[in-house]
Chains A and B, each alone.
Chain A
């Protein structure tokens, strides 16, 4: 491993201190955690603003105005109008850019959601209820999966249809089965959620094992 530079060593100590400050919340709220939390909010707001400026505002507005592309005055004006939200007297001015954003967003949803999230998904759900393998023989495994997929989707959609009471064979039993299908799906989601959360903790432990501890060893070995 290459020897660490001074700024890296200082950085690792600061990173470790901040990590321990945040972990101290597990023992209860305390000044160290509050300090780390407020540093995090300040730094993240500053980070987002800097990256937003250099990545988007500068190329889309500043550079275009320098190049005398006066159309860029429109997004500049709308962006500045957004800042009027800070005062209750002038907050109505920010409605113009907000309405532009909301209108754009609504347009994007109508056009691009229909195909990707409805049509193609419904298409993919139309599966053969008797599946055959490549040699023409009956494929039990894929038949079972297809039945689960087709009737699971139908019963799930029945559950979400609240315009009629969930009674009788179709809507009553269908909704009941739909809940069971959704519970199995959500249970799988929960299992994956546990996986994700534990991964985050593993990441911090890897920091101590692979970054902090080698730094200590380097300092110890150097001393």
Chain B
């Protein structure tokens, strides 16, 4: 029996994990989410900007990580639109271009009074990893001569007077990996001194904490948990808050499985010693 449990069929484990995610999603409990300092700092970075401030938002994630990053990006966009701030989207990730279109479609639904070119604009994806923020800081119009509709930046209402990166009040990157947050930290923030908010997947959150501690970035939003905290702060109804309940049960399930495996292993060791 002990050996059977230790060598449990992995498909049973898969089923347990699947149920631990599905059941809470179908039966939400409305658990409270506590807000941490790093997320609050990210929220305040947007909140303190006056209306008409220019924000550069770098959408550096793909469909595989959109579940964690899109809710925080969407909540931030909603916050910016409510405060009449202007958002210019760009992407270092190829899939970011299509996901910017998705964000813009949601903005148009949430804020029908906001107009493309006046309140938000899509500058599109640029290949080149670090070379993109490097050239952005040296020659912004050279890096982005037009938006994705072929309109020269001088003809885009909100960017008419923009010639340098430093004219942006804030840069935010929602990043899944490479290229993304680290490139912006090393060049956009450290080299060009731009205030930078970083939203990242939970996998990468521990490695960006040192940058928040050293104040190289002004805020850090980590994973689905960070997105849920941001939704709570901004009052935005998104998918992250509901997802955290499934997250809770799944975590307890995985932790329970690890504890069970350790107990079974110790029992087998003890039985082996007795013999």
**A–B touching in complex (CB under 8 Å):** yes
Q: Does residue A102 face the partner (Cβ distance < 8 Å to B)?
A: no
- Whether the Cβ atoms of A195 and B126 lie closer than 8 Å is no
Contact A206 B67 (CB under 8 A): yes
Interface string of A112-123 (1 = CB under 8 A from B): 110111001101
By a CB distance below 8 angstroms, the chain B residues around A55 are: 94, 97, 124-127
With A120-B216, A192-B223 in contact, is A27–B25 under 8 Å at CB?
no
CB B196 to nearest CB in A, in angstroms, measures 11
Flag A84-123 by CB within 8 Å of B: 1 or 0 each: 0000000000000000000011001000110111001101
Q: Is the CB of B146 within 8 A of A59?
A: yes
**In the complex, what's the smallest C-beta–C-beta distance from A14 to chain B, in angstroms?**
15
Closest partner residue, chain A, to B128 (CB atom): A56
Cβ 8 A contact of B25, one of A56, A105, A185, A209: A209
The CA of A221 and the CA of B87, in the complex, are separated in Å by: 40
Q: Does A41 contact B (CB under 8 A)?
A: no
Say yes or no for B160: interface residue by CB 8 A criterion: no
Cβ-based interface call for A169 (8 A): no
Please give me the residue from chain B that is nearest to A122 by CB atom. Answer: B214
**What's the Cα separation between A104 and B67 when bound, in Å?**
34
CB of B127 within 8 A of CB of A52, answer yes
Q: How far is the CB of A19 from chain B (nearest CB, A)?
A: 12
Given known A-B contacts A47-B95, A120-B216, A196 and B68 have beta carbons under 8 A apart: yes
Within 8 A of B (CB), among A172-223: 185, 188-189, 192-196, 198-203, 205-206, 209-210
Contacting residues of chain B (226-268) with chain A, CB-CB under 8 angstroms: 239, 242-243, 246-247, 250-251, 254
Report the interface size for chain A: residues with CB under 8 A from the other chain.
41
The residue that A200 contacts in the complex, of B11, B64, B215, B225, with Cβ under 8 A, is B64
Interface: B187 (CB within 8 A)? yes
B21 x A205 contact (CB < 8 A): yes
A209 to B246, CA, bound (A): 13
Task: Verify B243–A192 contact, CB threshold 8 A.
Answer: no
Q: Tell me whether B50 is interfacial, beta carbon within 8 Å.
A: no
The answer on a CB contact under 8 Å between B210 and A108 is: no
Kindly state the separation between the CA atoms of A85 and B84 in the bound complex, as whole angstroms.
51
Is A70 positioned at the interface, with any CB of B under 8 Å from its CB?
Answer: no
Return chain A residues, CB-CB under 8 Å to B54: none
Q: How far is the CA of A199 from the CA of B95 in the complex (A)?
A: 19
The verdict on A26 contacting chain B, using a C-beta distance below 8 Å, is: yes
Any chain A CB within 8 A of the CB of B185? yes
Question: Could you tell me the distance between the alpha carbons of A17 and B30 in the complex, rounded to whole angstroms?
Answer: 32
Is A48 at the interface (CB under 8 A from chain B)? yes
| Contact A205–B68 (Cβ < 8 Å) | no
Closest approach, in angstroms, between the C-beta of B174 and any C-beta of chain A?
14
Interfacial chain A residues near B127, Cβ < 8 Å: 52, 55-56
Q: Shortest Cβ distance from B102 into chain A, in angstroms?
A: 13
Name which residue of chain B comes closest to A127, CB basis. Answer: B213
Is A124's beta carbon under 8 Å from chain B? yes
From B205, which residue of chain A is reached at the shortest CB distance? A192
CA distance A195 to B203 in the complex (A): 8
How far does the alpha carbon of A202 sit from the alpha carbon of B70 in the complex, in Å? Answer: 14
Given contacts A59-B145, A192-B205, contact A117 B21 (CB under 8 A): no
Contact of A199 among B25, B191, B243 (CB under 8 A): B243
Shortest distance between the CB of B94 and any CB in chain A (Å): 5
A123 to B216, CA, bound (A): 11
CA distance A193 to B247 in the complex (A): 12
Binary CB contact string for chain B from 172 to 205 against chain A (1 if under 8 A, 0 otherwise): 0000000000000111011100000000011101
Q: List 25 A-B contacts (CB under 8 A).
A: A26-B14, A47-B94, A55-B97, A59-B146, A108-B131, A112-B187, A115-B186, A115-B190, A116-B216, A121-B210, A124-B214, A124-B215, A192-B205, A194-B251, A195-B202, A195-B225, A198-B247, A198-B254, A199-B223, A200-B67, A201-B17, A201-B18, A205-B21, A206-B242, A210-B239
Shortest Cβ-Cβ A-B pairs, 3 listed: A203-B67, A124-B214, A196-B202
Q: Which residues of A are in contact with B by a Cβ distance under 8 Å?
A: 26-27, 47-48, 51-52, 54-56, 59, 63, 104-105, 108, 112-113, 115-117, 120-121, 123-124, 185, 188-189, 192-196, 198-203, 205-206, 209-210
19 more CB-based (< 8 A) A-B contacts, given A112-B191, A120-B216 = A48-B94, A55-B97, A55-B124, A56-B127, A59-B146, A104-B131, A112-B190, A115-B186, A116-B216, A124-B210, A188-B206, A189-B203, A192-B203, A193-B203, A194-B251, A196-B201, A198-B254, A200-B67, A209-B25
